[in-house]
Amino acid sequence: MLYVKFLIALFGVTYAYKNLSPYIRNITNFKTTVTVSAKLFVVTSICTYLALLVVGRDPQNIGNLSLTNTQYYLLLLDLPFTAIGEEVFKVLMLLAFLRLFAPLKNNKFIVSLLLSSFIFGLLHINYNYASSLRIIFAIGVTAIPSFLFFLYYKSIYPSIIVHFFLDFMAFSNVSTNYSFIVLFFQLALCTAISLLLLRQFFNLAFNKNKS
């Protein structure tokens, strides 16, 4: 699955390079990236909390998982690819809808935003059909801030960072290796690995388009 997600994300970047290029090339300094990511994390957390108040706690039943240490560490290796792949897919979908619904003029943004959020939520059902509407609503609402930040700050990196961090927190809560100190070092390690992967991933995409 690691390679599949990587290839999907790579295909998305290379195929829609012209549309994504401004958002990928807009690499701000470290302090600005951290600041924007922190703002997005707070806004996303608030939206998630409000959405869960409506649909109920844990519609995806993540809390029922019981991960061994081995399963948890394997999952950590997957999270950077998941964050990159899903965020690239999200923004490609939004940009495509904005172009498709251009004739709607003033309404194209709202229609594109709602439709992109709905589809992203739909992709998280994972055969849990009994809670499908709750999952679509919760994930869709949670995705809206990342879309808005993406367009406003013209950068995909804060969305990827926050996506990874939220997934990390969610799955760490169901790990048998849950402790503050352990999680701190795990998060630091995974963050470093994710940043290196991001750099190599986008450098590869750019080099392929230039050749």
Query: What does the pLDDT look like over 37-60, one tens digit per residue?
Result: 888 988 998 998 899 898 887 777
Of the pLDDT bands very low, low, confident and very high (cuts 50, 70, 90), residue 149 is: very high
Specify which of 53-67, 112-126, 144-158, 196-210 reaches the highest per-range mean pLDDT: 144-158
Task: Measure the CA–CA gap between 162 and 179, rounded to whole angstroms.
Answer: 21
Q: Which residue has the higher pLDDT, 72 or 159?
A: 159
What are the pLDDT digits (tens) for 73-116? 777 778 888 888 888 888 888 888 888 888 887 888 999 999 88
Note the pLDDT of residue 181: 47
Task: Measure the CA–CA gap between 180 and 162, rounded to whole angstroms.
Answer: 19
The answer to whether 189 touches 57, Cβ cutoff 8 Å, is no
Mean pLDDT of 116-137: 80
Burial 193-208 (b: 16+ CB within 10 A, else e): ebbebbeebbeebbee
pTM of the model: 0.74
SS3 (DSSP) at 147? helix
Note the pLDDT of residue 44: 92
Q: Which residue has the higher pLDDT, 9 or 76?
A: 76
Statement: residue 31 has pLDDT above 60: yes
Q: Which residue has the higher pLDDT, 131 or 211?
A: 131
Q: How is residue 87 written in tokens? A: 């965020």
Statement: residue 175 has pLDDT above 70: no
Note the pLDDT of residue 113: 93
